């Protein structure tokens, strides 16, 4: 078979003749027409014609990516398939998506917020395209301010699709199960989801407290404890598609209990080797969250324009009980219950006009929380929060002499007010924040994107609460009702070099941010010593990231990364200037029947005021075998060096080090089984997931049981 290569016309004759040739060739296409994709391009065979197009299209603020056959077959679901793209870290049966340099990625499906579990309910073959935003534009600021993907899926012609997945550890108490069932006729679709992720683990803790001003309070604690908890939800959704209208309704209920026990803490003096076995105490932290929500989405296409309307409502109850049993004093702690009511609405409009795109969005969120405190002391109060986000942007491109400059110019307005009369909270925050993005292909293989932006935000409801949460007899956490909002000024340069298409590429991300009034955790002297949420005067952060995608042979891909980060800020007790280098990466094998990923990440560090967290080395190896009858069997091994620790340093006030070990997770082995099937014929339609789970429950992280 001969192939006619269609080239751009160079004269008036070609301009008239080539479209005719293309039409005639398309008319001769028969049932043997097929679509193939390489690592760098997509090829469409239409009998006598082969049309090629780039697999990645760069715009001013995003990358539009079309998956190859190699990507689509990776793993057992759409989340696995997306993770195999060069921009992300590959996972098999994973529950989250991260960039190649380990940043968490927010997910949308067909333009609306979704979860990784939602994406797992689709197959790689159902993905039409992926739009990747290295940083989400302001119109999506209510979703995330970090990396974001919008996955466009097209449902197969199957009217019944079932996805079942079970993954359980053979030597540690945890597992994850998911079930998805979809049914559809010509206009309607029903979907039911169930998901549960549970943990039941034993841990060892060693804490050291040194109070320079009060040496008699110095203590070492050795603790054996337990953590039990799970995240569980059920969801049903219905959608209707008719011409240019799309309607989607869903209802969801989540149940998230957690319990952490620090049992029989033996007390010792760090200045001596003696342990006082009879003078120990135990700590019990139990938290729970039950949230029910209803979500509505409507989309209307009018010519080239598109209007999206979203409305959500939720009712929830969160609770936290933290008790300390000591041989030296009566039982004490905190007992909190919050009832949360939330309503949310968003309108977004996109209109292409000539060579530019216009975006308008506006959202309003109202939240009311009734707080009940039993310990310490009976106390009731409530808070109301109103949030308004407005944004307008124009994007387009300038082209001259074969050179192109893409641009986005926009302005966003964020207004937030929080009122809590009994709590003494009266916070109003309003900011107008401009942003600009410029990008240009410097050559066929080099692309550069430059961003400048301003962001702002306010403290969470839990951070505004001044309820004490005891960690031990002489150390407690609390919020501050007088906290105010923060503002961030930033810029970033993101170059990309595709040295060998489909074989070797190099991406960089060089950024600098300056934040005024950042909210951090700082230590204050007293009895007990307190760690409080505080507005610092400034925070300077610089970061340089390099990651590569190397495919030496067709079935093997290497993704190393290097990240250097620098932080500069001052707390009331000290000056912090910290920088560190992190590196790691993955090697993945992708055949039709076998997929495997080997990954390594060096220790991480986070700096949050006077509180610092350090993570240990992590190694993992996973293998997936695709069996007959749509079955897939996976085996994963993870090695954690268990030197994770938390440190608090405030000169003259407190030096604290906490080291945690989970013995069974040091060498963790997990077996997974996935089964899916589909049956029937379904007319192609748009598929959509709508989610807007309320994250601000009024309970701070100090009052949540976490692994």
Q: Which domains does the chain have, with CATH numbers?
A: 1-54 (no CATH), 160-703 (2.40.170.20)
Secondary structure of 294-305 as H, E, C letters: EEEEEEEEECCE
- ω into 694 cis (within 30 of 0): no
Q: What is the mean pLDDT of residues 597-601?
A: 95
pLDDT at 528 over 50: yes
Query: Quick one: pLDDT at residue 110?
Result: 82
Burial class (CB in 10 A: 0-12, 13-18, 19+), 88: buried
pLDDT for the residue numbered 683: 34
CB-CB contact of 150 with 65 (8 Å): no
pLDDT tens readout for residues 689-704: 334 445 566 666 666 6
Q: How far apart are CA 178 and CA 161, in angstroms?
A: 14
Q: Is the pLDDT of residue 604 over 90?
A: no
What does the alpha-carbon distance between residue 527 and residue 524 come to, in Å, rounded to a whole number?
A: 10
pLDDT (mean) for 505-524 = 96
Q: Which two tokens stand for residue 237?
A: 């959704």
Q: Mean pLDDT lowest for which of 76-85, 159-168, 494-503?
A: 159-168
With 60 as the cut, is the pLDDT of residue 32 above it? Answer: no
pTM of the model: 0.82
From residue 497, alpha-carbon distances to 450, 492, 548 in Å are 15, 17, 10
Residues 6+ apart with CB under 8 A from 11: none
Strand partners, 488: 455, 515
DSSP assignment, residue 140?
G
Q: What percent of the chain has pLDDT above 90?
A: 56
At which residue do the structure tokens 């952060």 appear?
A: 541
pLDDT tens-digit readout, 409-425: 999 999 999 998 777 88
Angle at 477 between CA 475 and CA 480, to 5 degrees: 140
DSSP SS3 for 489: strand
DSSP letter (8 states) at residue 5: P
Where does the pLDDT of residue 299 fall: very low under 50, low under 70, confident under 90, or very high at 90 and above? Answer: confident
What pLDDT is stored for residue 161 in this prediction? 85
Please, which pLDDT band fits residue 466 given cuts at 50, 70 and 90? confident
Burial 395-425 (b: 16+ CB within 10 A, else e): bbeeeeeeeeebbbebebbbebebebeebeb
Per-residue pLDDT of 357-396, as tens digits, reads 999 999 999 999 998 988 878 888 899 999 999 999 999 9
Q: Are 578 and 567 a contacting pair, CB within 8 Å? A: yes
Report which of 690, 668, 640 is spatially closest to residue 314, judged by C-alpha positions.
Answer: 690
Mean pLDDT of the chain: 85
Give me the DSSP letters along 13-48: HHHHHHHHHHHHHHHT--TT-EEEE-SSEEEEEETT
The lowest-confidence range among 49-63, 442-456, 610-624, 630-644 is 49-63
Q: What is the DSSP letter of 197?
A: E
CA distance 211 to 219: 9
Tell me the pLDDT band of 5, cut-offs 50, 70 and 90: very low
């Amino acid at each position: 078979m001969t192939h006619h290569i269609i080239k751009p016309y160079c004269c008036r004759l070609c301009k008239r003749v080539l479209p005719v040739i293309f039409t005639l060739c398309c008319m001769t296409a028969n049932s043997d027409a097929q679509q193939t994709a390489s690592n760098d391009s997509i090829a469409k065979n239409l009998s006598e014609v082969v049309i090629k197009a780039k697999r990645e299209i760069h715009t001013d603020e995003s990358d539009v990516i079309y998956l190859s056959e190699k990507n689509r077959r990776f793993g057992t679901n759409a989340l696995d398939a997306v993770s195999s793209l060069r921009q992300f870290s590959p996972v098999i049966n994973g529950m989250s998506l991260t960039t190649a340099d380990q940043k968490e990625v927010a997910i949308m499906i067909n333009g609306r917020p979704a979860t990784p579990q939602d994406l797992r309910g689709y197959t790689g073959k159902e993905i039409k395209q992926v739009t990747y935003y290295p940083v989400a534009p302001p119109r999506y600021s209510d979703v995330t301010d970090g990396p974001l993907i919008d996955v466009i899926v097209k449902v197969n012609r199957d009217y019944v699709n079932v996805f079942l997945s079970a993954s359980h550890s053979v030597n540690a108490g945890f597992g994850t199960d998911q079930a998805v069932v979809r049914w559809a006729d010509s206009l309607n679709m029903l979907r039911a989801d169930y998901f549960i992720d549970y943990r039941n683990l034993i841990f060892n803790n060693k804490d050291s407290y040194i109070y320079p001003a009060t040496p008699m309070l110095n203590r070492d604690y050795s603790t054996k404890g337990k953590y039990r908890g799970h995240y569980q939800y059920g969801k049903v959704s219905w959608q209707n598609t008719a011409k240019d209208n799309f309607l989607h309704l869903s209802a969801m209920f989540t149940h998230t209990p957690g319990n952490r026990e620090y049992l029989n803490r033996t007390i010792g003096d760090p200045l001596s080797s003696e342990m006082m076995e009879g003078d120990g105490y135990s700590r019990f932290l139990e938290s729970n969250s039950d949230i029910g929500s209803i979500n509505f989405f409507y989309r209307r296409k009018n010519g080239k324009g598109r209007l999206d309307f979203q409305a959500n409502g939720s009712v929830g109850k969160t609770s936290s009980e933290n008790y300390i049993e000591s041989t030296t004093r009566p039982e004490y702690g905190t007992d909190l219950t919050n009832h949360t009511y939330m309503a949310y609405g968003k309108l977004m409009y996109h209109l292409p006009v000539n060579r530019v795109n216009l975006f308008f969005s506006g959202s309003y969120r109202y939240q009311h929380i009734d707080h009940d405190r039993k310990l310490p002391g009976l106390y009731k109060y409530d808070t109301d929060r109103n949030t308004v986000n407005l944004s307008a942007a124009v994007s387009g491109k300038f082209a001259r002499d074969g050179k192109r400059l893409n641009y986005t110019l926009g302005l966003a307005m964020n207004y937030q007010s929080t009122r809590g009369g009994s709590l003494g909270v009266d916070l109003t925050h309003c900011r107008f924040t401009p942003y600009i993005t410029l990008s240009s292909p410097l050559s066929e293989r080099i692309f550069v994107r430059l961003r400048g932006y301003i962001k702002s935000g306010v403290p969470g409801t839990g951070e505004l609460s001044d309820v004490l949460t005891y960690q031990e007899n002489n150390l407690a956490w609390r919020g501050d009702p007088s906290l105010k909002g923060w503002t961030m000024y930033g810029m970033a340069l993101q170059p990309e070099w595709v040295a060998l298409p489909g074989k070797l590429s190099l991406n960089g991300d060089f950024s600098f941010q300056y934040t005024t009034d950042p909210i951090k955790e700082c230590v204050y002297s007293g009895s007990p010593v307190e760690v409080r949420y505080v507005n610092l005067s400034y925070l300077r952060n610089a970061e340089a990231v390099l990651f590569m995608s190397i495919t030496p042979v067709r079935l093997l891909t290497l993704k190393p990364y290097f990240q250097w980060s620098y932080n500069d800020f001052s707390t009331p007790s000290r000056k912090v200037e910290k920088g560190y280098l992190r590196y790691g990466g993955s090697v993945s094998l992708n055949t039709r029947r076998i997929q495997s990923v080997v990954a390594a990440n060096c220790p991480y560090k986070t700096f949050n005021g006077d509180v610092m967290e350090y993570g240990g080395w992590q190694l993992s190896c996973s293998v997936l075998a695709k069996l007959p009858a749509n079955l897939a069997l996976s085996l994963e091994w993870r090695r954690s060096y268990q030197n994770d620790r938390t440190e608090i340093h405030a000169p003259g006030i407190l030096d604290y080090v906490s080291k945690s070990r989970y013995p069974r997770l040091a060498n963790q082995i997990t077996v997974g089984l996935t089964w899916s099937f589909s049956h029937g014929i379904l007319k192609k339609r748009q598929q959509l997931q709508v989610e807007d789970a309320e994250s601000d429950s009024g309970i701070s992280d100090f009052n949540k049981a976490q692994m």
